[in-house]
Amino acid sequence: MKRISLFTTGKRNQEEYNKFVVNIQTSQPTCFIIKYPRKDYSPRIDECTTNQWDRKLNVIKTKPLFLEVFVSNPTAIKNLICNVQIDELNFDNEVIQSENYSFTAGLKLDEWKWKRFEVKSKLDYIG
């Protein structure tokens, strides 16, 4: 009689997702909102009230990682510098691609908007 296991080993979804590590740092502590994809690619919103936000994200294969950042209190800070680093990981959790972005938020009304970033997976284009 063949035995069937009801539990899997954790590598079940490894081939279905691309892995990214996102790090956002600001020059001063502030409040900012981040929109990023869930596993099913629907948007999720998170808030940060310090000067650093880190997440490891799984994104459905063939879909780009999207990231939107909004500084919600730009009037409190003049010329806030925000740095975004996105690292893509392979199946061994080694960095295979890095993207860096930077923007400023300040008192000007035209700087009060969502900043959007998209990164396509390098693994989607290999083999």
- Please give the pLDDT value at position 71: 84
Q: Is residue 2 part of a domain?
A: no
Q: Is residue 48 part of a domain?
A: yes
∠ CA 37-91-99, rounded to 5°: 55
Structure tokens at 19: 């892995």
- Please give the pLDDT value at position 9: 47
Model pTM?
A: 0.79
CA-to-CA distance for 48 and 68, rounded, in angstroms?
13
- Please give the pLDDT value at position 11: 54
Secondary structure letter of residue 111 according to DSSP? G
What residue numbers bound the domain in which 40 lies?
29-125
- Please give the pLDDT value at position 63: 92
Number of domains in the chain: 1
- Per-residue pLDDT, averaged over 68-94, amounts to 86
Q: Is the pLDDT of residue 124 over 60?
A: yes
Q: Is residue 82 part of a domain?
A: yes
Q: Is 49 helix (H, G, I), strand (E, B) or coil?
A: coil
